[in-house]
Structure 1
Amino acid sequence: MSGTTKVLVEQLSQISLEAHAGAAAAETLSRRLSVIGELAESAAQLAARTR
């Protein structure tokens, strides 16, 4: 494998790792936002019933 190919493989491997880390972070944020949305909906329903 040439030096250029090795560098390319290293860079692509790093990009892959960063993409996986970003996807994991996005999944975590998505779950948190979903929970926040559910809590807000419950709070809105409770507020509507107490009026």
Structure 2
Amino acid sequence: MEVKQWTTLELVEFLNSYNRVFKENEAEALKYKELYVKAFNELNKRSPLLAMVY
């Protein structure tokens, strides 16, 4: 999946969702760990201050 095409809002929404799922079901969240890292890195490039929240 190409996260570079996502809007900044979509990146933030995904990261929020991932963190919520991780708290509830870590095993389920780990399936999406690679996507989380890609989304975080893309957000960090676009908006480092916003990425600090995650």
TM-score (norm 1): 0.37
Larger Rg: 1
**Where is the helix percentage greater, Structure 1 or Structure 2?**
1
Higher relative contact order (CA 8 A, sep 6+): 2
TM-score (norm 2): 0.35
